[in-house]
Amino acid sequence: MNASPRQVQFVVKTSKFCNLRCRYCYEYAELGNKAAIAPEQLEQMFHNIASYYRQLDFPVDIQFVWHGGEPLLQSPDYYWQAFDLQHQIFGELANNITNAVQTNLTVLNPERIRLLKDGFDEVGVSIDLFGGLRVNRSAVDSLDIVLKNMDRLNEANIPFGCITVLTKLNLPHLREIYNFYRTMNLSFRVLPLFKGSFDGQHQGFEISAQETLDAFCTLVDFWLEDQEFVSVVPIVDYIQQVIHHYTSNSSLIFYDKREWENIYLVNTTGDIYSYADAYEIERSHGNIFTTPLTDLIVGERHRQIIIEAEERMAATCSTCPYFGSCSGSPVAEGSRQYNDIDEWGAIRCIVDQGTLQHIEYRLKQARIINPQTGKLDIEQIKLPAFVPSLATAV
């Protein structure tokens, strides 16, 4: 029996409703829609999830990531009620549940501060710092209000991390972005643009896979030359993967979607997806409001999606030198913003493999990895005891 719990995340789209109109938002077409998942639907969803994880004979950590739209536009009571339902429905398993929220942090009042402090376990703030793309309906940049509200979170001693979306408009400011988070002592995740809500949405600020790779390599260099530890995801994950690759006798890690799926996305309708298949209804596993997860997992749709993920890994990862240190999940889950397709239709793993190669090159240059023997001098590299994974942003 595996002693350490397995992890699973449910990214729940509470509602698409939002007070902002961020120009790259993949929910753009629906941001005026006030419909939210009803409490009875949440209750049904929790039952359908709990019944699956309760019958497993190994421990599981379940995280709900509350997404929108802007999830904090819902009344705080909505979430207090959801947390109560979790306790009632999951029973003993409730101790293994955490709740995270990904917010634009433009709407804050004392009740919401209390919710963030005492209700949610993790808070993720979306802020790009440069580019002016996170605007309200009157096209006014939300940056100043978000910065003020971050100060309010600090005053209230609420820990939080940030997500910055990489676009053509903030690429020239990577140094300032890195320094901002370093000075503020904040963890941050850098997220390349996700697919848009309509054709041409990203015109003027789109970035290619190669530009994403260049940006990641630049962040690697900032990180390696820094005396301080700065938690920048996914850079620290990549560094750990290269260290794993050069650590003798480390056990290999392979993503096995057939055995364990670690992230699901739940739409406001209850349709549930693998992360990268969001809203392609023909690729939904089914509906989690009406159907137990146990049934969805063994369903024909899910089986077909697993086969396709396995085929992607076989075509791309099987020849990759890092396979086993990188689990292959970036290709299995088809992170389109990270990759191109080659002439035979296979994924070219540009960003992940390219960043790992760059780190390997830099560590050899610095003699942290001996280029002749491949021996790793682990003492030379600052490593955290624990690198937090920031709330997932689709």
Distance CA 209, CA 338 (A): 5
Q: Which is nearer to ligand SF4, 114 or 244 (CB)?
A: 244
Report, in Å, the least distance between residue 330 CB and ligand SF4.
4
Report, in Å, the least distance between residue 209 CB and ligand SF4.
12
Report, in Å, the least distance between residue 72 CB and ligand SF4.
34
Report, in Å, the least distance between residue 44 CB and ligand SF4.
36
Cβ(53)–Cβ(1) below 8 Å: no
Q: Which is nearer to ligand SF4, 284 or 392 (CB)?
A: 392
Distance CA 177, CA 218 (A): 12
Kindly provide the b/e burial profile for residues 223-247, where b requires at least 16 CB atoms within 10 angstroms of the residue's own CB. bbeeeeebbbbbbbebbbbbbbbbe
Q: Which is nearer to ligand SF4, 106 or 355 (CB)?
A: 355
Which two tokens mark 237? 């994950």
Q: Which is nearer to ligand SF4, 185 or 210 (CB)?
A: 210
Q: What residues make contact with ligand SF4 under the rule CB under 6 A?
A: 316-317, 320, 322-323, 326, 328, 330-331, 349, 352-353, 356
Q: Which is nearer to ligand SF4, 237 or 295 (CB)?
A: 237
- CA 83, chain centre distance (Å): 22
Q: Which is nearer to ligand SF4, 89 or 209 (CB)?
A: 209
Task: Identify the burial level of 300 via C-beta atoms within 10 angstroms of its C-beta, where 0-12 means exposed, 13-18 middle and 19 or more buried.
Answer: exposed
Cβ(213)–Cβ(355) below 8 Å: yes
Q: Which is nearer to ligand SF4, 276 or 326 (CB)?
A: 326
Which two tokens mark 325? 């240190």
Report, in Å, the least distance between residue 347 CB and ligand SF4.
8
Q: Which amino acid is at 263?
A: I
φ and ψ of 225, to 5 deg: -85, -5
Q: Which is nearer to ligand SF4, 120 or 322 (CB)?
A: 322
- Residue of 76, 62, 69 lying closest to 268 (CA atoms): 69
Report, in Å, the least distance between residue 317 CB and ligand SF4.
3
Which two tokens mark 136? 């309200």
288: three-class secondary structure by DSSP: coil
Report, in Å, the least distance between residue 34 CB and ligand SF4.
39
In angstroms, the first-to-last Cα distance of the chain is 33
Q: Which is nearer to ligand SF4, 37 or 305 (CB)?
A: 305
β-pairing, 286-287 with 188-192? unpaired
Kindly provide the b/e burial profile for residues 336-346, where b requires at least 16 CB atoms within 10 angstroms of the residue's own CB. ebbbeeeeeee
Distance CA 157, CA 42 (A): 30
Report, in Å, the least distance between residue 244 CB and ligand SF4.
12
Cβ(29)–Cβ(198) below 8 Å: yes
Report, in Å, the least distance between residue 353 CB and ligand SF4.
4
